[in-house]
Amino acid sequence: MPDHDEALSRDILPTLNINFEWRRLISDALQSYADSIIRNLDDSLVDDFRNQFQALINDLYTVDTVLSERLFVSLERTTDQTITGGVPDTIDWDQVHGISAVEMWNSLVPDRIIIPEFETGFYQMSGAVWFPSSGAAHNRIVKITVNGTVVYNVTVTTAQQQSVTFAYGQLLFGDDIVRLQIESPTTIAVQGNTDGITTFSIVRIPHEI
């Protein structure tokens, strides 16, 4: 990145603008992710996580933070998807955004995010699943799977229309396959419409292993 008194060439301006927009988006999102993670951490791990989070924010705003060093993709379900009762079902995404969309998602296999080869790192996963109202309260389970293994789940019991938000981070390796699964005892429709859009995002963040 150029120094503050260096003339800006035409080539560098798009990169500066994208970095500015990306940092503004990620800063707000990361704070939300961090709050969610801290609520689920053992007390003994909170201070260490806070230190890692602060280091991340410091790194995000250093002058030499380069967009190409980051991986980020955000998926959306913009139409309702029926989830069969009693069977875990994977969300098929129909919209993609983010600087790593081409590398991490393919419309031919829309149910997965694929970590690019040689891009091992600590990844933050988050999103929101919209459930419709129902006649009776039921357990609704949101699961993140990596290579078919459940690594995170959250359960809500409600009969009301509700958005279930989640956030989870872990070390992922190149070619890992990440999916979002929904499980309900009765057949329901995960919403993707004007009432709410179901989303799933993943971003690689600095983390010392």
CA separation for the pair 121, 123 (Å, rounded): 6
Half-sphere exposure of 30 (CA within 13 A, CB side): 23
Residues sharing a CB contact under 8 Å with residue 55, sequence separation 6 or more, in sequence order:
206
Which of 20-24, 64-68, 176-180, 202-206 shows the lowest mean pLDDT across its residues? 64-68
Indicate the pTM of the whole model. 0.65
Name the DSSP letter for residue 45.
H
CA separation for the pair 160, 22 (Å, rounded): 35
CATH no. of 71-205 = 2.60.120.40
| Chain position carrying tokens 């989870």 | 168
Q: How does pLDDT run across 45-99, given as a tens digit for each residue?
A: 666 666 666 666 555 555 444 444 568 899 999 899 999 988 899 999 999 988 7
